[in-house]
Amino acid sequence: MTRWTTDTAADAVVCVALAAGLVAGSLAVARTGEERALDPLGCALLLAAALPPAWRRTRPIPVALVSATACVAYYALLYPGIFAAAPVLLAVYTVVALGRLPEGVVVAVAFDAALYLAVAVPHGAYAVFDGVWWTAGFLAAVVVIGHMVATHRAYLREVELRAAEAERTREEAALRRAGEERLWIAQELHDTLTHTISVINVQAGAASHLLAKGDPAPAGDALAAIRASSQEAMRELRATLGVLRRVDDGGDPGLARLPELVERARRAGLPVTYEVLGKPRPPAEGADLAAYRIVQEALTNVLKHAGTPVTTVTAEYHGDTVTLRVTDDGEPVDDRPGHGMGLIGMRERAVAAGGFLSAGRGPDGGFRVEAELPLAGTA
């Protein structure tokens, strides 16, 4: 059974018991003054007042009006019983407790005014004190209690809504973090693999050309370079997966491994040199990996788009920052295809590490990538 069905059944039982109690009480109570004995009409009016509240949760206003009308008619005909207004009190309480305070007050005032006009005015002052004012006091009490219940329910609903909103916010934050992690994974895999694949591509082309010329010795060197690059790619891929598994083996690439990176590019056939200006110092958190990936992507772009121009990688330490420059004397940047996504990724890495990156035509032609990243203690 649903909660609504259970509540309705309980209300029906209460109303039947209330009707039976009112009829029995009115039969048993001693009559005073002009009161008349309870007859079938009086019983019908009591039932008409007591039974409708079984539907008070779904039709609160109609139930209150029907019960109030029957009760006023009962008292106007001077039937006995001081508790005949109980169904009206229950109905008014329900209206107010369901959050309809103005309607509940209107019903209560109208009911008490109708009692006064139908009973006290025609039949004398005793009815005012014995019925109307007592009923007014009880109505005021049930309105106050109903309003307190409605306020408490509204507070509980607000708490539930806030809890649901907090849960939704947590879920959205989790989804956002998952998206950021997926983006980070994609960027790591891109930076790890594209450089090595570019090196392998160049070396494979050279080996194929040398074998076609019947010169196996240099071709063997190219194949050895391919093998070394493949092993390095596997090592970096394992390192990336290790980070994803929260394995901290201290093997993340950084500024200290730029000489290895340059050497791999040199073995791939790129005439590249590496120089350090100033006193090397550790970079800020997050900047070490960013520096390595930026240089790696820049060298990859040179291999992919510029052939084998003379290239220089410079790390210049000054003040609180380190400036990384990758310059080449290849074809002008405007003639190079496919730079967009790589440059976007490099800029995002630089900004995420607290620095910035610029890229474009070099002062003497070719292409230049320059990134400035913070050193430790300055980010």
Tell whether 273 and 140 lie within a shared domain: no
pLDDT at residue 248 is higher than 50: no
- Sign of the Cα torsion 104, 105, 108, 114 reads negative
Task: Note the helical H segments in the chain.
Answer: 3-28, 40-50, 60-76, 86-97, 101-115, 121-123, 126-127, 133-212, 216-244, 258-267, 287-305, 340-352
Q: What is the CATH number of the domain that holds 268?
A: 3.30.565.10
Tell whether 128 and 272 lie within a shared domain: no
Residue 44 inside a domain? The answer is: yes
Number of compact structural domains in the chain: 2
Residue 274 inside a domain? The answer is: yes
Nearest-10 crossing angle of helices 3-28, 86-97: 150
* pLDDT range class, residue 341, cuts 50, 70, 90: low
What's the confidence (pLDDT) of residue 249?
45
pLDDT at residue 338 is higher than 60: no
Collect all residues with Cβ–Cβ distance below 8 Å to 348 and sequence separation of at least 6.
187
* pLDDT range class, residue 278, cuts 50, 70, 90: very high
* Arithmetic mean of pLDDT, 234-250: 56
Going by the DSSP 8-state scheme, the letter that residue 333 receives in this structure is G
Residue 62 inside a domain? The answer is: yes
What's the confidence (pLDDT) of residue 11?
77
* Arithmetic mean of pLDDT, 250-276: 84
Residue 199 inside a domain? The answer is: no
Strand partners, 371: 324, 357
Task: Tell me the pLDDT tens digit for each residue of 28-44.
Answer: 665 566 677 788 898 88
* pLDDT range class, residue 355, cuts 50, 70, 90: very high
pLDDT at residue 141 is higher than 90: yes
Q: Which carries the bigger pLDDT value, residue 174 or residue 48?
A: 48
Boundary-marking domain end, from 166, 189, 220: 166
Tell whether 142 and 274 lie within a shared domain: no
Task: Tell me the pLDDT tens digit for each residue of 192-212.
Answer: 677 677 777 777 777 777 777
Q: Which carries the bigger pLDDT value, residue 89 or residue 337?
A: 89
Task: Tell me the pLDDT tens digit for each residue of 280-308.
Answer: 999 988 899 899 999 988 988 887 776 67
Tell whether 282 and 156 lie within a shared domain: no
Residue 188 inside a domain? The answer is: no
Boundary-marking domain end, from 114, 133, 166: 166
What's the confidence (pLDDT) of residue 97?
92
Residue 227 inside a domain? The answer is: no
Q: Which of 47-51, 207-211, 235-239, 326-330 has the lowest mean pLDDT?
A: 235-239
What residue numbers bound the domain in which 326 lies?
Answer: 253-379
Tell whether 262 and 151 lie within a shared domain: no
What is d(CA 201, CA 205) in angstroms, rounded to the nearest whole number? Answer: 6
What is the 3 state secondary structure string of 340-352? HHHHHHHHHHHHH
Residue 161 inside a domain? The answer is: yes
Tell whether 21 and 127 lie within a shared domain: yes
Tell whether 378 and 280 lie within a shared domain: yes
pLDDT at residue 325 is higher than 90: yes
**What is the residue whose two structure tokens read 């009490």?**
141
pLDDT at residue 269 is higher than 70: yes
| pTM (predicted TM-score) | 0.47
The tokens for 319 are: 């003040």
Tell whether 262 and 140 lie within a shared domain: no
Surface-to-core class of residue 225, CB atoms within 10 Å of its CB (0-12 exposed, 13-18 middle, 19+ buried): buried
Tell whether 154 and 283 lie within a shared domain: no
Question: In terms of Cα–Cα distance, which of 378, 350, 205 is closest to 291?
Answer: 350
pLDDT above 90 coverage of the chain, percent: 22
Q: Which carries the bigger pLDDT value, residue 375 or residue 267?
A: 375
Q: What are phi and psi of 363, to 5 degrees?
A: -65, -30
Boundary-marking domain end, from 166, 186, 217: 166
What's the confidence (pLDDT) of residue 126?
52
Tell whether 13 and 140 lie within a shared domain: yes
Tell whether 15 and 120 lie within a shared domain: yes
Residue 209 inside a domain? The answer is: no
Q: How far is CA 328 from the centre of its chain?
A: 47
Residue-averaged pLDDT of the chain: 80
CA angle 164, 165, 170 (to 5 degrees): 95
What's the confidence (pLDDT) of residue 250?
47
Strand partners, 358: 370
